[in-house]
Chains A and B, each alone.
Chain A
Amino acid sequence: MTDEHWAERTDEGAERGGVRVEDDERRRARRRERTRRVRLVNRVLAHHRLVLQDWDGRLYLLRDAKGRSATVADLGSLWTVAAGLAGHRLDPLEPQLLERITAAADGP
């Protein structure tokens, strides 16, 4: 049984007969995806002058430019807390945001 947020589960084939298999390979894959997740979220948050850090693989730490911070458990609560710190809504459809994250993807 797990309370892992749905968007953070990457476990195809990891449950056999209702039992979760947690081997070294799976742990490495989870860490890798967690790192990628933080990088992608940071590209989005940079648009709102916020930064996310992984905290020991268990929590995330969110900071703003004024030095304020908050911990969040998972993606489920991240965006609401981030909107609170930013002081405005975070709209994933905003064209300037999309331009920014894809420009970063295309590189200099």
Chain B
Amino acid sequence: MSGRGQRIPVLVLTGFLGSGKTTLLSGMLGDPEMGKAAVLVNELGEIALDHDLLRHVGERTVVLPNGCLCCTLRDDLSESLRELLDLSERGEIEPLERVVVETTGLAEPAPILNTMLADPIVSAHFRPEAVVTTVDAQSGSHSLHRHPESVKQAGAADRLVVTKADLAGEEAVAGLRSELRRINPGAPVLRAVLGDVTLADLLPPSGASAGAPEEVERWLAAMDVHAAAEAHPHGDEAHVHHGDVVARAMLFERPLDWTAFGVWLTMLLADRGEDVLRVKGLLDVGGPGPVVVNGVQHVVHPPQHLAAWPGDDHRSRVVFVTRGIDHDAVEASLAAFQRAAESL
């Protein structure tokens, strides 16, 4: 896929204040799978660690008995990741197989992904693997309605984890799940009680990145593009709402002009990136396989131009999750740019 060799996958763990990120992480640390991972946390003191069993590597870094490395996250994520590289290159720590970054409760995921994709040194050594977002079953719904950051975190997720499910009751959990599905139709929703989730539960299957074509296919299936296409008079869209957040799938019978799509999407994201929570899809651009598109707000993962389609449906299908944007206008705009490109 990319010419960048084996880059270290980075799992981003996000979630609103008090949504159970630290409990989830504490539960995961003992997992043998975490033995070759480094965890960047907001505050080492908040993680449940047995201090007698720790080895200290510098003032901000400790090694757990299973080999897992815990570091306090600096203000600057790229600096923290570079520091890990230095430690690894100097042989002070084992080669890393994965990094888990715990964000602050108010952090937006897009700038974190942007750091990994735009910083030349960081992007040469690390790649975003997946965004996991915790949502508190008791107060998650309130956060989604009151705090825009919370909606962005849920929208950016490749996996959603509903925490404190045991305290909230089945009805509240079911309500939250359907609310999350409207904001992020494609992400699987797991539930956790006292952090009883393993690393494997949070990763995309077979170690693929969240932008892997199979993952995108699953996303598109979750939107049920085809069922909606059959039910719809125009046969080309499906959509779900959450307040002013709307997820809509578009289906195109004819190949798209990739150059025009790039011009259009960069312009849309420059102007409305804050409100384009997610773009994800497979595009037929006339090549042997599709182009995989995966974006979170202004940040677009480098699209993969695949040699073959992952499934039988070779039509372009793309999901847009937006806030306060008229989807008909988005569709009309994309169509106009495609039309304009025909005569170039």
Contacts and interface: CB of A to CB of B under 8 A. Distances in A.
B271 A40 contact: no
Contacts of A14: 305
Interface in B150-192: none
A9 B340 contact: no
B339 A75 contact: no
Interface residues of B, number: 47
A107 B270 contact: no
B262 to A, nearest CB: 3
B302 A37 contact: no
A92 B305 contact: no
- Most chain B CB inside 10 Å of its own CB: which residue of A7, A90, A102: A7
Contact of B289 (A11, A12, A37, A83): A12
Interface residues of A, number: 43
Contacts of B337: 40, 92, 101
B288 to A, nearest CB: 7
A12 B305 CA distance: 5
Nearest to B332: A98
B107 interface: no
Nearest to A81: B270
Contacts of B287: 12-13
Interface string A44-58: 100000000000000
Contact of B267 (A6, A12, A19, A44): A44
A15 B307 CA distance: 10
B267 to A, nearest CB: 4
B259 A33 contact: yes
Contacts of B261: 7
B270 A40 contact: no
A19 B2 CA distance: 8
Contacts, number: 117
B260 interface: yes
Contacts of A36: 259, 341, 344
B124 A1 contact: yes
B201 interface: no
B262 A12 contact: no
B288 A37 contact: no
A105 B340 contact: yes
A40 B344 contact: yes
Contacts of A95: 332
Given A18-B3, A33-B259, A40-B260, A6 B268 contact: no
A9 B265 contact: no
B5 interface: yes
B250 to A, nearest CB: 15
Nearest to B261: A7
Contact of B263 (A13, A20, A41, A93): A41
Interface in A77-108: 78-80, 83, 89-93, 95, 98, 101-102, 104-107
Contacts of A101: 336-337, 339-340
Contacts of B303: 6, 9
Contacts of B329: 93
B259 A10 contact: yes
A90 B271 contact: yes
Contact of B271 (A7, A33, A43, A91): A91
A24 B182 CA distance: 48
A3 interface: yes
Interface of B: 1-5, 120, 124, 258-268, 270-272, 285, 287-289, 291, 300-303, 305-307, 325-326, 329-330, 332-333, 336-337, 339-344
20 contacts: A1-B3, A6-B262, A7-B262, A7-B265, A12-B306, A13-B287, A18-B4, A36-B344, A44-B263, A75-B263, A75-B266, A78-B266, A79-B266, A79-B271, A93-B272, A93-B330, A95-B332, A102-B339, A104-B340, A104-B343
Interface of A: 1-3, 6-15, 18-20, 33, 36-37, 39-41, 43-44, 75-76, 78-80, 83, 89-93, 95, 98, 101-102, 104-107
The 9 closest A-B pairs by CB, nearest first: A7-B262, A79-B270, A12-B305, A12-B287, A98-B336, A101-B340, A75-B266, A105-B343, A92-B267
